[in-house]
Amino acid sequence: MARYILFYKPYGVLSQFTPAPGSAHGTLKDYLDIPGIYPAGRLDHDSEGLLLLTDDGALQHQLTAPRFGHPRTYWVQVEGVPGEEALERLRRGVEIQGVRTKPAAARMLDGAPDLPAREPPIRYRKSVPARWLEMTLREGRNRQVRRMAAAVGHPALRLVRCAIGELGIGGMRPGEWRELRWEEVRFGERRGARRD
């Protein structure tokens, strides 16, 4: 029977079970002791939020292969206050590393999302305002959200993946995990990705 684990990756933890040589960062092994599961996708060590881990190779492929365009949603605390022009550029796609990103959904949040404080905390600067955006991408290039935010003049200060398809972060805290019920996995397959 395949297993499906939803994990809230804390800041400073690598999206892998084996430590990188010379790295002081924690790994998934510090939180999960379930043999045979692997992450379906990644989050950088300085990003937080949802990871889906499974031993179901077909689902891993479906969630990570670019042709499926599986949606991933992020809350991004950015430096400054993005105007409508910056948001529209994110929606159309921006050029990063010489390649234009696919269009993304992007909107300003009314306030800060209900998240636990980050350790270590974000550096606070009284003279520079910070706002929260919600962005949904259907591609997963290396450090893409951070590079997109920087490309429109608003570097990311904190990045939290809050949803993978229909699966959300609600009720979870950093370092916590839960096993998905079969109906959640099936719901994600029906609604989340195309099937060829």
Q: Is the pTM of this model over 0.85?
A: yes
pLDDT digits (tens, 9 = 90+) for 147-178: 999 999 999 999 999 999 889 999 999 999 99
pLDDT at 141: 85
pLDDT at 140: 81
> Hey, is 145 helix, strand or coil?
helix
Contact of 180 with 50, CB cutoff 8 Å: no
Contact of 167 with 52, CB cutoff 8 Å: yes
Q: In the chain, which residues have pLDDT < 50?
A: 187-196
- Spelled out in words, what is the top-level CATH class assigned to the domain 71-164? alpha beta
Residue 162 dihedral angles phi and psi, to the nearest 5°: -100, -15
CATH node for 1-68+170-196: 3.30.70.580
Q: Where are the domains of the chain?
A: 1-68+170-196, 71-164
pLDDT at 131: 94
Q: For residue 100, give the nearest of 110, 91, 112 by alpha carbon.
A: 91
Assess whether the region 1-68+170-196 and the region 71-164 belong to the same CATH fold: yes
pLDDT at 192: 37
Contact of 141 with 101, CB cutoff 8 Å: yes
pLDDT at 120: 82
E strands present in the chain: 4-9, 38-39, 48-54, 72-79, 95-96, 99-100, 105-108, 130-137, 156-164, 167-168, 177-179
pLDDT at 65: 64
- Indicate which residues carry an active-site annotation: 44
